[in-house]
Amino acid sequence: RKWPEKNIIQKKADAGYYNISTPALTFTDLVHHQTKIGTLNRLLSVLEELSEEFSESDWQSLTSWYNNKSTLQRVGFLLDEIFNSKRYADIIYTNLQQTNYYPVLLSPTANEKPGSARNRWKVDINLKLESDL
């Protein structure tokens, strides 16, 4: 598998160096793979901890190459509406505005289609979000 070169940090350990994803990429990957992990509710506490480590440059770098619009919509929605991180959400929104994007479900399911979404992210909220914290 080819890993992105951006949003990867090299850390030094006793055994040598290893690469880890930045907080923005980790957050985005968790949202993207939410159905494999269980539900978005299971992730909220982890996502909240990651959100404390964000930087603007991390999000600017991510939006320069990450091209899964539906995941970016969900991430932007969560940052904006749940984690109150509007300044990072605005970076994603500016990027999304450069192309067409369409309604998506907050929690993708095989037998449900998105309806109307009354937020700038076009995210149809089909899941009540409840954190373990």
Domain edges within the chain: 20-124
Write down the pLDDT at residue 53.
93
What is the pLDDT at residue 114? 84
What is the C-alpha separation between 80 and 120, in angstroms, rounded? Answer: 10
pLDDT at 131: 67
pLDDT at 1: 61
Size of the chain in residues: 133
CB burial readout 103-124, b (16+ within 10 A) else e:
ebbbbbeeeeebeebeeebbbb
**Which tens digits make up the pLDDT trace of 12-54?**
999 999 999 999 999 999 999 999 988 898 899 999 999 999 9
Residue type, 62: L
pLDDT band, very low/low/confident/very high, at 64 (cuts 50, 70, 90): very high
Query: What is residue 99's predicted lDDT score, i.e. its pLDDT?
Result: 92
Mean pLDDT on 83-108 = 95
| pLDDT of 4 | 73
Calculate the CA dihedral of residues 80, 105, 35, 41 and round it to 10 degrees.
50
On the question of pLDDT at 111 being above 80, the answer is no
